[in-house]
Amino acid sequence: MIRPLAITVALAATPAAAEFVIEEGTFFVMHRDYHHKTNSFTDRAPEGEGDGCFQITRVDLPGKSIDFTLVSGTITPWWSDGETFHPGFQNAFVPAIGFMENNPDAAWTDLLHEILKTVPDCAPPAS
């Protein structure tokens, strides 16, 4: 069954929209930003997160959690109060409250498919 949101997201996606594969070992970067107040996307990584390249380390879709590690680059996400994270930093994706409230019929991973892009690998840090 195709959900109405999936159709809307597919129609709103740009031709350059990239695929995001959810499986252990996948490398990815952030390539779009989501704004929960307007329920819209911007075609660039969130401020402070464009230099990071990550790898999925564990997938638990029924448990609604995807663990990942920063492999290269540094990030200073909006929620970190100015703290910069370096390779080795670990975190997890869980359902985003704002996205789920705005899109109650969406799967919790739909947001990830919109804002993340799978890449072949992460470049090693520059020395």
Percentage of residues of the chain with pLDDT beyond 70: 83
Q: What is the pLDDT of residues 71-101, one digit of tens each?
A: 999 999 988 999 999 999 999 999 999 999 9
Q: Does the residue 83 lie in any domain? A: yes
Q: Does the residue 127 lie in any domain? A: no
Domain that holds residue 90: 4-119
Q: Does the residue 126 lie in any domain? A: no
| Per-residue pLDDT at 18 exceeds 70 | no
Lowest-confidence pick of 9-23, 43-57, 66-80, 97-111: 9-23
pTM for the whole structure = 0.81
User: Do the Cβ atoms of 70 and 89 come closer than 8 Å?
Assistant: yes
The count of structural domains within the chain is 1
